[in-house]
């Protein structure tokens, strides 16, 4: 059977109990049905007003119909996260992690062969946007060009406009400013949340924590490989720099020429990134991800050949994928090199293992 982590990354055909595609406009055209998605010009003030990219009014209808359930579910997830982390401010990473709990929620049902509730599907689409918002602010923080304020719903909304988060490459956010502000308020208040998700809170926390940690460590693995491509300097290696970020809802943050960065500075940079990986599953089952993140820094800091460093990174990533599979309720023994390769850019292993010096 296909490992759960691969299904989560690759499957794009799923629908919720109301028949709406889980991925909405990101669903491949061949998997959409006539009338699935209705687009209109955006009437909201700000950067979205009459933008060339339309808004998905079909998704907005579902969100509006289940609005109270969505806010309740977000409150349940936030309260679960706060119970584990305790020092909830929230800061940028707090918002990002809670968002990932929401984005993972449909997969909790899918991978258990259960129907996906409409509120869970709609929440995941809203938290996808909040997660990208937090990612963009994280890039500013890490680059040293921005310091996060004490968040309020109003300044979170202003930052959504400022970062361009409300406008994607194909469409714009379909929520009104009032709706978006209310959604941000759910990250800030202390309501425990009610509804059917309460009974699944610990399970959703464990599942979502593994989902989030996998994405963070995968991103670090991707950034580490980019240093190796720069080191190789061949046309084939340079072409790998243009294969797209992993995961696709993250961003690339690096110096202009990574080959000029000494190993000791590479290690320091990845040590800083590793601090973003903190356990927050209710049972502590995601603790191993932090160790894996630290080991990525150790590997790139050794200054070995690209092939030798890749061999270490490859082992770490294999362990991370197996840990994720277990956290998603699958069999970690099913994780092979081929499974890991299916999750990253084609040609990675062939290029880096043939680089010499392993």
Whether 210 and 323 have beta carbons less than 8 Å apart is answered as: yes
* pLDDT value, residue 357: 47
pLDDT interval class at 3 (50, 70, 90):
very high
Q: Which has more pLDDT, 355 or 332?
A: 332
Triad 94, 273, 222: Cα angle to 5°:
110
Q: What is the pLDDT of residues 274-284, one digit of tens each?
A: 999 999 999 99
The pTM assigned to this predicted structure is 0.96
Q: What is the DSSP string of 230-291?
A: HHH--HHHHHHTTS--SSTTS-----S-GGGS-HHHHHHHHHHHHTT----STTSTTTHHHH
Retrieve residue 143's tokens: 């680059």
What is the model's pLDDT at position 258? 85
Q: What pLDDT is attached to residue 356? A: 57
pLDDT at 355: 77
pLDDT at 228: 96
32's tokens: 């959409």
In the chain, where are the structural domains located? 9-194, 201-353
pLDDT in tens, 286-316: 999 999 999 999 999 998 999 999 999 999 9
Buried b (16+ CB within 10 A) or exposed e, 237-253: beebeebeebeeebeee
Instruction: Give per-residue pLDDT as tens, 172-206.
Output: 999 999 999 999 999 999 999 999 999 999 999 99
Read off the pLDDT of residues 247-264 as tens digits, 9 standing for 90 and up.
Answer: 999 999 999 888 899 999
pLDDT digits (tens, 9 = 90+) for 58-89: 999 999 999 999 999 999 999 999 999 998 99
54-77 residues labelled b (16+ CB within 10 A) or e (exposed): bbbebbbebbeebeebbbbbbbbb
Mean pLDDT of the chain: 96
Contacts 24+ apart (CB under 8 A), 337-345: 339/3, 339/5, 339/6, 340/314, 342/6, 342/10, 343/5, 343/6, 343/9, 343/218, 343/246, 344/218, 344/221, 344/222, 344/246, 345/240, 345/243, 345/244, 345/246
**pLDDT tens digits, 133-166:** 999 999 999 999 999 999 999 999 999 999 999 9
pLDDT reported for residue 358: 41
């Amino acid at each position: 059977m296909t490992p759960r982590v691969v299904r989560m990354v690759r499957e794009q055909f799923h629908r919720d109990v109301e028949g709406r595609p889980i991925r909405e406009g990101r669903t491949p055209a061949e998997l959409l049905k006539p009338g699935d998605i209705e687009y209109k010009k955006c009437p909201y003030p700000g950067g979205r007003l009459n933008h060339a990219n339309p808004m998905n009014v079909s998704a907005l209808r579902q969100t509006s119909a289940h609005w109270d359930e969505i806010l309740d579910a977000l409150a349940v997830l936030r309260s679960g996260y706060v119970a584990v982390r305790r020092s909830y401010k929230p800061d940028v990473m707090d918002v990002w992690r809670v968002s990932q709990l929401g984005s993972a929620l449909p997969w909790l049902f899918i991978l258990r062969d259960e129907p996906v509730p409409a509120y869970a599907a709609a929440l995941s689409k809203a938290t996808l946007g909040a997660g990208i918002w937090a990612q963009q602010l994280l890039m500013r923080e890490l680059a040293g060009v921005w310091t996060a304020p004490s968040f309020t719903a109003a300044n979170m909304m202003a930052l959504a406009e400022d970062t361009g988060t409300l406008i994607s490459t194909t469409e714009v956010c379909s929520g009104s400013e009032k709706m978006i502000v209310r959604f941000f308020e759910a990250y800030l208040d202390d309501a425990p949340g009610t509804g059917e998700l309460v009974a699944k809170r610990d399970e959703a926390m464990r599942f979502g924590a593994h989902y989030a940690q996998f994405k963070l460590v995968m991103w670090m693995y991707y950034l580490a490989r980019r240093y190796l491509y720069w080191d190789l300097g061949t046309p084939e290696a340079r072409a790998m720099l243009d294969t797209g970020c992993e995961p696709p809802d993250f961003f690339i943050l690096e110096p202009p020429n990574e080959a000029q960065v000494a190993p000791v500075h590479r290690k320091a940079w990845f040590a800083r990134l590793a601090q973003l990986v903190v356990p927050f599953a209710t049972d502590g089952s995601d603790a191993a991800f932090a160790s894996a993140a630290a080991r990525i820094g150790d590997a790139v800091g050794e200054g070995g050949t690209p092939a030798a460093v890749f061999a270490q990174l490859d082992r770490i990533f294999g362990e991370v994928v197996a840990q994720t599979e277990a956290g998603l309720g699958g069999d970690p023994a099913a994780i092979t090199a081929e499974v890991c390769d299916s999750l990253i850019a084609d040609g990675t292993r062939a290029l880096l293992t043939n680089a010499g010096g392993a």
